[in-house]
Structure 1
Amino acid sequence: MTIATLKDVLIPCLSNNTAVAGLVVLGWEDAVAYVRAAELVGRPVVLQVGPGSRNYTPLSVLGPMLRNLAEKALVPIVIHLDHGNSICECKVAFESGFTSVMFDGSNLSLEENIDKTGEICSWAHSHGLSVEGELGFVGYQDGYESQGTDPLEVNCFVRETGVDALAISVGNRHLMLSPGVDIDLELLMAIQTVVPDQPLVLHGGSGIGLATRKSVSRNTNVCKINIGTELRVSFGTALRDVLSSDITQFDRIKILEKTIMPVCVSAQNAITSLM
């Protein structure tokens, strides 16, 4: 199956009333689990590399690793940089084999966010690649507070940048250990009304209940929901189970390979929650 861009997998979601899962990759084992889950469900998936992952493993290593998986997959796979901090970092990701980047200009002024996101879009589109932008600020559990996306700024941002997807802040929060956020559906629909043909993205999917995930996937233009924390919890639980079941085991390959199936099951649940 051809490696896909973000645009390739999100545009169909506008008409088939589903969303694609953006799954956060920290290493080989979870990436393998995510691709296997996507194949079992028969859905595209976005393999996302966030700041924590790339601070540990260079983009120049992660890109070829994920492309190796994607090239052999039976479903479309997007290789995506999540929360790119600069134009330079986004270009390094593209040069490393990523097919999509998310430039996070949420802390910038509207004008600077438009300028930088637009520059990345211009370069990416000339090479057949995709870009996700962010307007508003998605906060963190026990951390920075969210700032909701202003519908009055949305049309200008989308029109002037040309983004393929727009991450919005409508009550969602990063790094939540369990569902608990209330999505502001009125604000979400106000944004969608302004840009009715624009694929929208929700970060912080682990904090969004399964019923809400399914509802926004089916009834709005939210075409991608990012899910990471619940999958990291699944990996951690599986790893502790493996280590406690055989305290004499020391081979890291034998230890880590046993985490793949439990994470695959969790990833299947995440993917199907958006259908």
Structure 2
Amino acid sequence: MTLVTLKDVLQPAYEQGYAVGGLVALGWEDMRAYVAAAEAENAPVILQAGPSCREHTPLPILGKMFRHLAENASAPVVAHLDHGYTYEECKIALDSGFTSVMFDGSRKPLQQNIDETAAIAEMAHAAGISCEGEIGFVGYSGGEGSNGTDPAEAAQFARQSGVDAMAISVGNVHLQQDKEGGLDEARIAEIDALTEVPLVIHGGSGVPVEQRTRLSRDTSICKFNIGTELRMAFGNALRAAVNSDPNRFDRVTILKETQDPVEAAARAVIRAFGAPPQK
């Protein structure tokens, strides 16, 4: 069994200078491919259930799926709730066997965000699991704009919320399909200098791979959330499988053809973060 908490995988990354992929899952096929990729790379992986995943599959079911994969994996696997918006939602994830919850209070006033995140962190820690919070708001490509993280507010949030990891807004954007943006390294350095907590980048698909590797090595960024580029790999593989034979209708045989392309894409993502071989 290699089911672990977020703190279990991020603390070594923080101390040794690498990052761990928070890979956003939408269903059985991609989460299975992510674990296979982690095993092949001999590196940890964070399986993430975000809002769209939870709309499709209930949290108690996702918890069982994540735990089944983790308990049979040779690599460390975190079962992580991504963008939980309420205390109740985080409690359901905890009760469903998740080993980490991310509470997103980033749209709320600073003190309210701190207070609500601290309550969820206290609940998580009492149950022996981890908590991630967010300060500053990470926007969406073609949608809601970002509100960059203020370094002084980040320091206050890190100090008062009790989180094990802190997501920041430094030029990153959710759902970005290209890698032309890049992150604000000066702002990252300011936040880094004022905090002593592993930092998280949401919207990591839009970050150039070279910058991911360098920041993993040289800063306190220990987790990049990657969803869009892996969804694109899945979608391309599925489209090719469907189009290859218009008479085929068995979805199991069609979906099997997504495994290898998604695993290969996930391996490339994981490899770029520079994790040393797991002992």
2:7 is matched with which residue?
7
1:112 is matched with which residue?
112
Gapped regions of structure 2 (runs ≥ 5): 275-279
1:261 is matched with which residue?
260
CA contact 2:182–2:211 (8 Å) conserved in 1: no
1:233 is matched with which residue?
232
- Cα deviation for residue 206 of structure 1 reads 0.7
**Are residue 59 (structure 1) and residue 59 (structure 2) matched?**
yes
Q: Aligned runs of 1:90-101 on 2, under 5 Å?
A: 90-101=90-101
1:164 is matched with which residue?
164
Tell me how far apart the structure 1 counterparts of residues 219 and 65 of structure 2 sit (CA, whole Å). 34
1:180 is matched with which residue?
180
Compute the TM-score of the two structures, normalised by the length of structure 2.
0.97
Tell me how far apart the structure 1 counterparts of residues 133 and 58 of structure 2 sit (CA, whole Å). 23
CA contact 2:133–2:167 (8 Å) conserved in 1: yes
- Cα deviation for residue 153 of structure 1 reads 1.0
- Cα deviation for residue 257 of structure 1 reads 1.1
Q: Deviations over 1:237-266 (max 9, x none)?
A: 000111111121111111111111100000
Tell me how far apart the structure 2 counterparts of residues 202 and 42 of structure 1 sit (CA, whole Å). 22
CA contact 2:14–2:222 (8 Å) conserved in 1: yes
2:29 is matched with which residue?
29
Tell me how far apart the structure 1 counterparts of residues 20 and 6 of structure 2 sit (CA, whole Å). 10
CA contact 2:34–2:263 (8 Å) conserved in 1: yes
2:201 is matched with which residue?
202
Compute the TM-score of the two structures, normalised by the length of structure 1.
0.98
- Cα deviation for residue 119 of structure 1 reads 0.2
- Cα deviation for residue 212 of structure 1 reads 0.5
Tell me how far apart the structure 1 counterparts of residues 223 and 52 of structure 2 sit (CA, whole Å). 21
1:20 is matched with which residue?
20
CA contact 2:80–2:101 (8 Å) conserved in 1: yes
Tell me how far apart the structure 1 counterparts of residues 14 and 205 of structure 2 sit (CA, whole Å). 22
**Are residue 252 (structure 1) and residue 248 (structure 2) matched?**
no
Tell me how far apart the structure 1 counterparts of residues 97 and 151 of structure 2 sit (CA, whole Å). 34
2:223 is matched with which residue?
224
1:86 is matched with which residue?
86
**Are residue 70 (structure 1) and residue 82 (structure 2) matched?**
no
- Cα deviation for residue 180 of structure 1 reads 1.6
- SS of 1:102's partner is strand
- Cα deviation for residue 59 of structure 1 reads 0.3
After superposing the two structures, state which structure 1 stretch, 239-248 or 81-90, moved more: 239-248
Tell me how far apart the structure 1 counterparts of residues 47 and 2 of structure 2 sit (CA, whole Å). 14
1:122 is matched with which residue?
122
- Cα deviation for residue 19 of structure 1 reads 0.1
Q: Deviations over 1:41-82 (max 9, x none)?
A: 000000000000101110011110110001000011000000
- Cα deviation for residue 144 of structure 1 reads 1.1
2:277 is matched with which residue?
none
The one-letter code matched in structure 2 to 1:215 is R
How many residues are paired up?
274
- Cα deviation for residue 15 of structure 1 reads 2.2
Q: Deviations over 1:140-184 (max 9, x none)?
A: 111111111111112221111110000000000000111021311
2:39 is matched with which residue?
39
The one-letter code matched in structure 2 to 1:64 is K
**Are residue 211 (structure 1) and residue 214 (structure 2) matched?**
no
Tell me how far apart the structure 1 counterparts of residues 127 and 182 of structure 2 sit (CA, whole Å). 38
The one-letter code matched in structure 1 to 2:65 is M
- Cα deviation for residue 2 of structure 1 reads 2.6
The one-letter code matched in structure 2 to 1:189 is A
